[in-house]
Amino acid sequence: MVEKYEGIVIKTIDYGESNKIVTIFTREAGKIAGMARGAKKTNSRLAGPTQLFSYGYFMIYGNRGMGALQQAELISSLRAIREDIFKTAYATYIVELIDKATGEKERNPFLFELLHQTMQYINEEYDPDIVTNIFEMKMLNVLGLYPEMNRCAVCGNTEAQFGFSIKENGLICHECFEKDPHFFPLSQTSVKLLRLFYFFDIHRLGSISVKPETKKELKNVISLYYDEYSGLNLKSKRFLDQLDKLKDQI
């Protein structure tokens, strides 16, 4: 039996002299893996489409255990990502997060769209920090996390100065700051952006320009939340953090 999938390559592992095991996140069936025989050879028709981040159509044979990836058709190689070490680092984190947050064959077309759109934005000239933060906020529900972003997580206040509380799992208003002495102070711009990232439709991202100090705040609060609740410790995220420090030094 052969099935055709639209997908993005999120992981590849070399297997033997010339083969690759390719993990693809697909629109039709979520995460699936396939054995691509000969794909490591540069003259293989599979060499291009089975590279990390490739977006295309994949024909997989067999329905028990791991199928054989015998044909693939590239739609886009996301070349700008491949040619830029910083973009590559962001995209590597995105695909690792998808891989770690999902099980095999859990169909989720919404998540495919999110991945697809996020990779397109990074491939284009959008700010990869902001695109990554949006992706992280949108992945929270996939990870089973539901921070309160509409109102104060303690008293329900909707009109206030807000900070973020790890302990209370969401925004906390100035009247409740004492309930969590370790609350994370936020500028009101950051509050607005966090809400926007969490709730809005990613296809509607216009040009967005965010001040460096706001970007730092967003990154710190999202990282803190992930460290506390996601249960993930990703190599690609540590690498991104190292790159950040490097950028600060330049």
Q: Which residues bind Zn ion (CB under 5 A)?
A: 152, 154-155, 157, 173, 175-176
Q: Shortest gap between Cβ of 220 and Zn ion (angstroms)?
A: 22
Q: Which residues, other chains included, contact 161 with Cβ-Cβ below 8 Å and sequence gap of 6+?
A: 173, 174, 188
CB 236 within 8 A of CB 96: yes
Of the pair 135, 162, the CB lying nearest Zn ion is at: 162
Residue 75 to residue 83: CA distance in whole angstroms: 17
Of the pair 51, 161, the CB lying nearest Zn ion is at: 161
Q: Shortest gap between Cβ of 221 and Zn ion (angstroms)?
A: 18
Of the pair 113, 180, the CB lying nearest Zn ion is at: 180
Give all strands of the β-sheet with 162-165 in edge-to-edge order. 170-173, 162-165, 184-185
Of the pair 172, 240, the CB lying nearest Zn ion is at: 172
Torsion-angle region of 108 (φ positive above 0: left; ψ -120 to 50: alpha; else: beta): beta
Q: Shortest gap between Cβ of 151 and Zn ion (angstroms)?
A: 8
Q: Shortest gap between Cβ of 214 and Zn ion (angstroms)?
A: 23
